[in-house]
Structure formats: C-alpha cells, structure tokens
Chains A and B, each alone.
Chain A
Amino acid sequence: DIQMTQSPSSLSASVGDRVIITCRASQSVSSYLSWYQQKPGKAPKLLFFAASTPQSGVPSRFSGSGSGRDFALTITSLQPEDFATYYCQESFTIHRTFGQGTKLDIK
C-alpha cells in the first residue's frame, strides 16, 4: 500500500498568516491527490482533487500544487474559519489512503 505522510502534524498560526501543509507519497501517485478539510464534529469536506483542481466553492486563498510524490496545500491570509484539520489522500490506488492529518490551530 502507498503511505501518505503529512508535515507538520500540527501547526499554530495567526489570522492573516500564510501556511503551507505538505504531503509526501511513498511512491509516485502522479496527480491522483486530493485534499480535505475537517472541522470538529463535522464530516470532511473536499477541497481539491487532481492535486490542484478546487472543488466548487473553495475560496481562492486556498491552492493545491505538486505531482509525483510531493504535494502542498497553501492557504494565504488565514481566516478564522480555516482553523481545522487537513488531510491529503491518494486516489492512485483503490484503497484511497489518507495522510495522518495536519491540525491547524490559532496561535
């Protein structure tokens, strides 16, 4: 199985900051990479698929990048509603393995 490793596991930032969350696959997944946002007590929400294609309604301060093994989720000018846990996920295999998550909280 492909392993997905996110960095960092947790991150403290302030409103207005720019943050980058990275995701590394144990083998190439081409652009078969999605990002999800999950707030406490809620279901995850799809942010990006195909590594960099935003789901409808995703604010433009979010962007996804990368291909192969290395990917990034960038949030420019953090807003209060962005504090959440973010997961990457490969869709190269049928198992759709998730990263362990990155918890973004307020500094």
Chain B
Amino acid sequence: VQLVESGGGLVQPGGSLRLSCAASGFTFSNYWMRWVRQAPGKGLEWVANIKEDGSEKDYVESVKGRYTISRDNAKDSLYLQMDSLRAEDTAMYFCVRDTDGRSYYPSFDYWGRGTQVTVSS
C-alpha cells in the first residue's frame, strides 16, 4: 500500500491549492479516504472524508465552504481543493486510508508522507 501526496506549497492568504493523493497497492474504490492535517508543532486534525463511491463527504467545521474533497476511482486518486486559504490552514496535509466498512472497528491504517501547505504573504 502506498499513498503519495502532492500539490502543496506556499500560497498567499485568500489563494487556492489543489492537493492530490495517488494510491497504489490496494483496491482504492473499496475504501473511505480522508485528509488529516497537522499544524507546525501541533496535533492531528481530521479535515475531510469521502465514501468509497464519493456519495458521502464531510468536513471539519473550520473548512466547510472552503475545501472540497473528491476522488477519481478510475485513477486511484484522492483530491482536496482548498480555496480562500487562511494562515491557520498552514499545516502538513496527510492522505489517509480509513478502514470504515472493512473493519468493525475503523482506524486509519495507512498514511502518506504528507504535503506541506504554507499560507503566508
């Protein structure tokens, strides 16, 4: 199993970025997927999740209306469109596989290495 994120970088407040996560080594369309972020020196925070077929999505309150999670099962890829970015969105963003639906007790069993997003003028 591999999850490889890309698309991070430095962006000005109010700007946009699109993160991508390329999945391999498993049947991507069988799993819920999530984005989790970690601000510098801080803990872990779930950001967004998407069901196997993309029919259900949810977001942490602080990004609702600004972030959009999506997936392309034909390309084994997960995305996070981030608009109206703020300084407080600065973090490492991890692509994560969730075992929901595959395990009675869900967990985040595989993580990518992360992509850094820095929002600063």
Residues of chain A whose beta carbon lies under 8 Å from any beta carbon of chain B: 31-32, 34, 36, 38, 42-46, 49-51, 53, 55, 87, 89, 91, 94-101
Contacts and interface: CB of A to CB of B under 8 A. Distances in A.
Nearest to B59: A95
**Which of the listed residues B99, B106, B107 has the most CB atoms from chain A within 10 Å of its own CB?**
B107
Contacts, number: 64
A87 B44 contact: yes
A99 B104 CA distance: 21
B58 A100 contact: no
Given A98-B45, A98-B46, A46 B58 contact: no
A100 B113 contact: no
B60 A91 contact: no
Contacts of A34: 105, 107-108
Residue among A31, A96, A99 with max Cβ neighbours from chain B (10 Å): A96
B100 to A, nearest CB: 8
